[in-house]
Structure 1
Amino acid sequence: MQSGVMAEGGVGTCPQVFVVDSQANYDSVTGGKKPRWSRVGQKFLLLLIGLTMLGLVVEGCLIYNLYKKTESLCQNVSNPQTSWQKGGTILSQEQPKESNDIPSVRPYTEQDQKRPFAQLIGSKNPAGENNVVQWIHRGGEAVTYNMGYNNGRLLVNKDGYYYLYSKVTINAAENCLLIQHKVMKETQAYGKPIELMKSKSFRCPKSSSEMTTEVGEDLWNSFLSGIFQLQSGDQIFVTLEDIQKIRPGTTENLMGAFMISP
């Protein structure tokens, strides 16, 4: 808008003109944008944090599974009978019925506790008639359970498969000696003893000058063991050729049997 003033008595001068625009806009000064590398760094940092959290979750799951397996193993070791029975039940339920299946393990029962067994130890006077070795059947480490003993013979009272074993110690220092260690069986089905196991060895002193009655000991051990089917009424005994050469003692000579299956 323009305005003018006339001075009296003269030509009017041109006044200064000021224009005010009331519609002008005043924008606030905005900050510049963040650099691109800063935005990328933030995203990469968030990605690393996410991967770290995922790794912690996976590690926690693995530790939990390992803890469960360890706990189950400890329970099996602390209670083998229960785990055995459970394992046999699971196997019998899950196995497909095929001809080549592996049978489940039979659990231990109270009937197994009644299986006969015996251990005889060497006597101070082990030489018996017909070279039958005599034993101690009661006291110390000697024991008989559901089996009998008579004159060096172990008496079988129940049919089944038995593990038999025998150990003898011989002193072969005085002269050359043929040693024959046998485990024998007498049964009602045969009229004479049956040979179950035998060990045969020929022993001599180291030199002929040692073949005197004053030499020391030259000990020789023989051990026999095996599994045999026995019947009620059978008699098991040990014979030793030249039985006078046996070295007496409770630890030098042993005989035993125990049923492994009916």
Structure 2
Amino acid sequence: MAEGGVGMSPQVFVVDSQANYDSVHGGKKPWWARVGQKFLLLLIGFTMLGLVVEGCLIYNLYKKTEALCEFHPLCQNVSNPQTSGQKGGTSLSEAQHQESNEISTVQTHLEQVQPRPFAQLLGAKHPRNGSVVQWRDSGGESVLSNMAYNNGYLVVKREGYYYLYSKVTTNAAEECSLILHKVMRVTQAYDKPIELMKSKSFRCPKPPNEKPSEIGEDLWNSFLSGIFQLMSGDKIFVTLENQEIRPGNTENLMGAFMISP
């Protein structure tokens, strides 16, 4: 017993042998987790590098294609494409327009290889073989290109639309007459020549009581021109009726040139 009759209570400690203790893990990760994380990062790096390389290759291919399209007519619409949502698809008129552009490009290339036909004949002679005017097909300013000339007839070698023209000058001071100036066509589709253009005028010396030698010259000229579709093998010629050609290299001419195939 303690002094003064006061006793101290003993301290009791109880040990529970059945208690469970959670194991405390350390802060260091297992080796397989660390290896997996490094492998995942390496895989992502390779993926990003592949995307960068693919983008560079696509860009280089696009630049090369764009450079080639500058010299090719079929790539003209690549730079300004039209989506189906904007235009509702390609219409028939647009397809025909594109086709006509391609045909025009081919025709331009053919024209560069073979120029369009043309001819100009100056200095007509007096008509022979009836009323057919004869021309000088060589010398001076007369020229023939991809066309032929034979005894007053201009021969067409290529089918197409041609601009035809003719001018004649006469002296109508000698006697009264009806002057007829015509441009004619000979084609295999018809048995007789076809009249393409005509000019007529009634001329009479003035004054009528004077002699022809005292009147001098009463010049009359006619100019005809027009556009016509001609076939290969067609022949074009000029006729002058009831009058004689007034000689001159610049007062009489006949010509033709293709304006469209």
Q: State TM-score, norm by structure 2.
A: 0.59
In the alignment, what sits opposite 2:130?
130
Determine the C-alpha separation between the residues in 1 that align with 2:81 and 2:136: 51
* Superposition map of 1:78-93 within 5 A: none
Identity of aligned residues (%): 64
Q: Distance in 2 between matches of 1:115 and 1:122?
A: 24
Q: 1:78-113: CA deviations, max 9, x gaps? A: xxxxxxxx9xx68x9589777999x79867934335
Q: Cα–Cα, structure 1 residues 191 and 94, in superposed 2: closer, same or farther, change >3 Å?
A: same
Cα 1:218–1:141, aligned 2, differ >3 Å: closer, same or farther? same
User: Is 1:109 aligned with 2:108?
Assistant: yes
**What code does the residue aligned with 1:231 have?**
M
**Which letter maps to 1:248?**
P
| Partner of residue 42, structure 1 | none
Q: What are the superposed Cα offsets for residues 104-123 of structure 1, whole Å, 9 maximum, x if unpaired?
A: 98679343351111001123
Alignment partners' CA distance in 2, 1:140 and 1:196: 28
CA distance in 1, matches of 2:195, 2:228: 12
Task: Report what 1:184 is aligned to.
Answer: 184
Matching of residues 3-152 of structure 1 within 5 Å: 109-113=108-112, 114-123=115-124, 125-152=125-152
Counterpart-to-counterpart distance in 1, 2:93 and 2:232: 35
Runs of 4+ in 1 over 3 A off after TM superposition: 92-101, 103-108
One-letter code aligned to 2:170: I
Tell me how far apart the structure 2 counterparts of residues 94 and 210 of structure 1 sit (CA, whole Å): 80
- Secondary structure of 1:202's partner? strand
Distance in 1 of aligned mates of 2:143 and 2:183:
19
CA distance, structure 2, for counterparts of residue 178 and residue 136 of structure 1: 26
- Alignment-mate amino acid for residue 185 of structure 1: R
8 A Cα contact 1:127 1:243, kept in partner: no
Whole-Å separation in 2 of the counterparts to 1:187 and 1:93? 48
Separation (CA, whole Å) in 1 of partners of 2:116 and 2:258:
6
Secondary structure at the residue paired with 2:111?
helix
Distance in 1 (CA, whole Å) between partners of 2:80 and 2:184 is 45
Q: Is the 8 A contact 1:122 1:253 kept in 2?
A: yes
> Where do residues 194-205 of structure 1 align in structure 2 (5 Å cutoff)?
194-205=194-205
Distance 1:256 1:187 in 2: 18
Q: Sort the Cα spacing of 1:208 and 1:159 in 2 relative to 1 into closer, same or farther, 3 A.
A: same
Q: Distance in 2 between matches of 1:189 and 1:159?
A: 14
Unaligned 5+ residue runs, structure 1?
1-85
| Residue identity opposite 1:250 in structure 2 | N
* Structure 2 residue aligned with 1:259: 258
- Counterpart-to-counterpart distance in 2, 1:165 and 1:199: 12
1:145 Cα deviation after fit? 0.6
Structure 1 Cα separation of the partners of residues 188 and 221 of structure 2? 32
**What amino acid sits opposite 1:118 in the alignment?**
A
Cα deviation digits, residues 110-143 of structure 1 (max 9, x gap):
43351111001123x3321110000011121101
**2:43 alignment partner in structure 1:** none
Residues 152-231 of structure 1: pairs in structure 2 closer than 5 A: 152-231=152-231
5+ residue gaps, structure 2? 1-72
- Count, aligned residues: 173
Cα distance, 1:140–1:93 mapped onto 2, change above 3 Å: farther
Alignment partner of 1:208: what SS?
Answer: coil
Residue number in structure 2 paired with 1:82:
none
* Residue identity opposite 1:222 in structure 2: S
- Flag the 1:100–1:121 CA change in 2: closer, same or farther, 3 A: same
Distance 1:225 1:248 in 2: 21
Cα 1:94–1:198 shift into 2, 3 Å: farther
Distance 1:93 1:200 in 2: 57
What SS does the aligned partner of 1:192 have? coil
Q: Helix, strand or coil: the match of 1:239? A: strand
